[in-house]
């Protein structure tokens, strides 16, 4: 009887989390469909979208909000921008660095500051929208600014609700929702231009990226660790074995950074059309489907992925932690030998992960190049890669969280 009641409570908890996540998604999409007050809907409907890569990319990461100006016009973009900006401020401001070292109390203050920074970014974006798109705002622009700022604060709260009471990270899930909401019209345009061949190529590209991402996301290199046995009084402690898991990074930042870096000469050729060498370089980098442009893109992604991964693992700190806790790698002497061995293994993993990041970044670009769609869909390869990797990572994180919740509920009676 008790087991049946616990299983019922388990299903209720899972159902509650799923319903909370779905309800937040519905509210979020509703907020991106309601037009902000004092916005001229007829003027927006009569305006064609700007055929500019940067505007298209911003429109992608705001769920189309920059064009239609709904209540949630900026989507989760302020939340995404506030995180790296806050990290930069922690490095530059000594007071914030001190708060980070104060444990949970300092973390709560930093979280509060990050929330205020997110709302401030939403306010600045709202002011920019009213200033640069004033012909589409009727009446008092202050009301529109206040509504868009409040929408940013509400989106921030929705992300926290998903993180605390739903499944997965709220920012990542809502970002995936708004990106998926924007991409179908683009693929419809691709179908109208290329027919079923375009759909087949995109299906192969999506399946390849998702399968490779899932395989490498679950892969890890386990370095065995043995702990020495210690006698404290009449009891023996230690003597157990463990391992250090080393995983391949799944970050999309190297591909995004490489794409932005390759677009800078194109942007320079548009801003300064009279400069000959700007025009020469920009004309050769404008089309993302050319073989040598893909080759340069592959090299830059591999380089950035290796640099990013190499700086995220401190082998000296790991060696010191092992020595402090009485652990050692079998066959490797503690100290400098352990540092050299960990550095050797991890650098090989970084090199292999860099090749993986380059290959997985080139697959969408190659697919669009085969369809001759790269000029029509700027940043299409990077956008497709980000969407697919986000879809896989969010799915894996959600499945892992569901499994952990079920295990915790099943063994909860033994932990009391």
Q: What is the pLDDT of residues 59-69, one digit of tens each?
A: 767 777 677 78
Q: What percent of the chain shows pLDDT beyond 70?
A: 77
d(CA 416, CA 413): 6
Q: Reduced to 3 states, what is the DSSP secondary structure of residue 242?
A: strand
Which tens digit of pLDDT belongs to each residue from 30-53? 988 888 877 766 666 555 555 555
Average pLDDT, the chain: 78
Is residue 289's pLDDT more than 80? no
pLDDT at 41: 65
Say yes or no: 106 and 129 in one domain: yes
pLDDT at 12 over 50: no
Per cent of the chain over pLDDT 90 is 7
Model confidence at 11, pLDDT cuts 50, 70, 90, reads very low
278 CB-near residues (< 8 Å, 6+ apart): 265, 268, 269, 272
C-alpha 19, offset from chain centre? 24
Tell me whether residue 143 is in a domain.
yes
Query: Which tokens hold the place of 65?
Result: 């909000």
- Phi/psi at 75 (nearest 5 deg)? 60, -135
**Domain contains 109:** yes
Closest CA to 248 of 215, 209, 208: 215
Q: Does residue 129 have a pLDDT over 90?
A: no
Same-domain check for residues 72 and 111: yes
Handedness of CA 342, 343, 345, 349 (dihedral sign): positive
> What pTM was estimated for this model as a whole?
0.69
Q: Does any domain span residue 190?
A: no
200 and 180 in one domain? no
Residue 268's domain is classified under what CATH number?
1.10.3370.10
Q: How many domains does the chain have?
A: 2
Residues 173 and 94 in one domain: yes
Q: φ and ψ at 393, to 5 degrees?
A: -65, -40
pLDDT tens-digit series, residues 69-84: 888 888 888 888 888 8
pLDDT digits (tens, 9 = 90+) for 137-158: 556 678 888 888 999 999 999 9
Mean pLDDT of 329-336: 82
Q: How large is the average pLDDT for residues 211-239? A: 77
216 and 130 fall within a common domain:
no
Give the burial class of 121: count Cβ atoms within 10 A of its Cβ; 0-12 exposed, 13-18 middle, 19 or more buried: buried
Weakest mean pLDDT among 89-93, 122-126, 284-288, 390-394: 284-288
Looking at the predicted structure, is the pLDDT value of residue 170 above 50? yes
> The domain containing residue 324 runs over which residues?
195-416
In a domain, 129, yes or no: yes
SS3 72: coil
Residue 35 lies in a domain: yes
Question: Is the domain of 128 the same as that of 253?
Answer: no
* From 11-15, 190-194, 243-247, 302-306, the region with the lowest mean pLDDT: 11-15
Q: Are residues 46 and 101 in the same domain?
A: yes
Out of 136, 158, 185, a domain closes at 185
Residue 120 has pLDDT above 90, yes or no: yes
- Residues 122, 227, single domain; the answer is no
Q: Identify whether residues 27 and 161 lie together within a single domain.
A: yes
Residues 246, 357, single domain; the answer is yes
The predicted model gives 388-397 an average pLDDT of 76
- pLDDT of 116: 93
Which range has the worst mean pLDDT, 3-12, 161-170, 359-368?
3-12
């Amino acid at each position: 009887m008790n087991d049946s009641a616990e299983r019922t409570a388990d299903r209720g908890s899972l159902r509650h989390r799923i319903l909370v996540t779905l309800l937040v998604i519905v509210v979020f999409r509703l907020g991106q469909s309601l037009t902000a007050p004092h916005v001229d809907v007829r003027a927006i409907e009569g305006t064609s979208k700007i055929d500019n890569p940067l505007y298209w990319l911003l429109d992608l990461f705001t769920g189309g909000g920059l064009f239609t100006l709904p209540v949630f016009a900026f989507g989760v973009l302020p939340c995404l921008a506030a995180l790296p900006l806050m990290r930069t401020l922690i490095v530059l401001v000594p007071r914030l660095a001190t708060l980070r070292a104060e444990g949970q109390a300092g973390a709560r203050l930093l979280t509060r500051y990050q929330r205020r920074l997110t709302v401030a970014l939403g306010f600045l974006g709202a002011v920019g929208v009213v200033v640069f798109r004033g012909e589409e705002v009727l009446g008092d622009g202050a009301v529109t600014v206040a509504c868009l700022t409040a929408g940013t604060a509400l989106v921030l709260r929705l992300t926290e609700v998903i993180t605390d009471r739903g499944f997965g990270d709220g920012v990542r899930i809502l970002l995936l929702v708004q990106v998926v909401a924007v991409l179908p019209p683009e693929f419809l345009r691709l179908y109208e231009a290329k027919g079923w061949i375009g759909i087949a190529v995109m299906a192969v590209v999506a399946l390849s990226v998702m399968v490779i991402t899932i395989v490498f996301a679950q892969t890890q290199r386990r370095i065995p660790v043995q702990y020495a046995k210690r006698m404290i009084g009449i009891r023996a402690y230690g003597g157990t074995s463990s391992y250090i898991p080393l995983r391949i990074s799944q970050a999309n930042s190297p591909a995004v950074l490489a794409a932005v870096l390759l677009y800078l000469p194109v942007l320079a050729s548009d801003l300064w059309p009279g400069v000959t060498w700007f025009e020469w370089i920009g004309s050769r980098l404008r089309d993302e489907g050319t073989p040598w442009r893909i080759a340069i893109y592959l090299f830059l992604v591999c380089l950035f992925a290796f640099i990013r991964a190499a700086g995220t693992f401190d082998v000296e700190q790991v060696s010191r932690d092992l020595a402090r806790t009485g652990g050692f790698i079998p066959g490797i002497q503690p100290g400098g030998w352990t540092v050299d061995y960990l550095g050797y293994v991890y650098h090989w993993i970084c090199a292999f992960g860099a090749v993986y990041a380059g290959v997985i970044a080139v697959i969408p670009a190659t697919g669009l190049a085969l369809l001759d769609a790269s000029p029509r869909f700027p940043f299409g390869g990077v956008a497709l890669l980000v969407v697919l990797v986000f879809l896989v990572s969010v799915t894996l994180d959600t499945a892992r969280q569901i499994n952990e919740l079920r295990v915790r509920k099943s063994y909860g009676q033994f932990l009391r």
